[in-house]
Amino acid sequence: MSILDHVDASTNLAKNNEVQLLLFKVDESVESPFYAINVFKTREVVEAKRHKLTLIPSAHPLLEGTIVLRGTQIPILNLPVWLGNHFTKEDNDKSNFLICDFNGIIIGLRIMFAFRVVKKNWAQMHAPQSYSSGDSSMIINDTRLEDGSLCLVLDYEKLLSDVIPQAMVDTGASPDNIKDLEIPTKLRNGTVLIAEDSKTAQTHLSIVFENSNIDYKIFDNGKQLIEYIFALSDPSVIPAVVTDIEMPEMSGFTVIQQLRAHKETAALPIIVNSSMTGDNNKREAEGLGADGFVNKTKSKDIIPLIVEIMHAKNYM
Domain ranges for the chain, please list them: 3-167, 169-312
Residue 1 has a pLDDT of 46
Examine the pLDDT at 8 and tell me if it is beyond 50: yes
The residue-averaged pLDDT of 98-121 equals 92
Examine the pLDDT at 118 and tell me if it is beyond 90: yes
- CATH number (1.10.10.10, 1.10.357.10, 1.10.1200.120, 2.40.50.180) of 3-167 reads 2.40.50.180
- CATH number (3.40.1160.10, 3.40.50.2300, 3.40.309.10, 3.40.640.10) of 169-312 reads 3.40.50.2300
Residue 177 has a pLDDT of 65
pLDDT band (50, 70, 90) for residue 42 = very high
Max mean pLDDT range (125-134, 253-262, 295-304): 253-262
Question: 3-state DSSP helix/strand/coil percent for the chain, to nearest 5?
Answer: 35, 30, 35
pLDDT band (50, 70, 90) for residue 90 = very high
Output the pTM of the full model: 0.82
Contacts of 243 (CB under 8 A, 6+ apart): 194, 195, 196, 222, 225, 252, 255, 256, 270, 271, 272, 273
Lowest mean pLDDT across 5-19, 138-152, 214-228: 5-19
The residue-averaged pLDDT of 41-59 equals 93
| 8 Å CB contact between 139 and 152 | yes
Mean of the per-residue pLDDT values of the chain = 87
Residue type present at position 164: I
Residue 130 has a pLDDT of 47
d(CA 161, CA 140): 15
Residue type present at position 84: G
Residue 275 has a pLDDT of 77
Lowest mean pLDDT across 6-10, 114-118, 301-305: 6-10
Residue 11 has a pLDDT of 54
Burial class, 68, CB count within 10 angstroms (exposed 0-12 / middle 13-18 / buried 19+): exposed
The residue-averaged pLDDT of 142-151 equals 91
Examine the pLDDT at 38 and tell me if it is beyond 60: yes
Residue 17 has a pLDDT of 84
Examine the pLDDT at 132 and tell me if it is beyond 50: no
pLDDT band (50, 70, 90) for residue 248 = confident
Examine the pLDDT at 9 and tell me if it is beyond 80: no
pLDDT tens-digit map of 157-181: 889 888 988 666 665 545 566 777 8
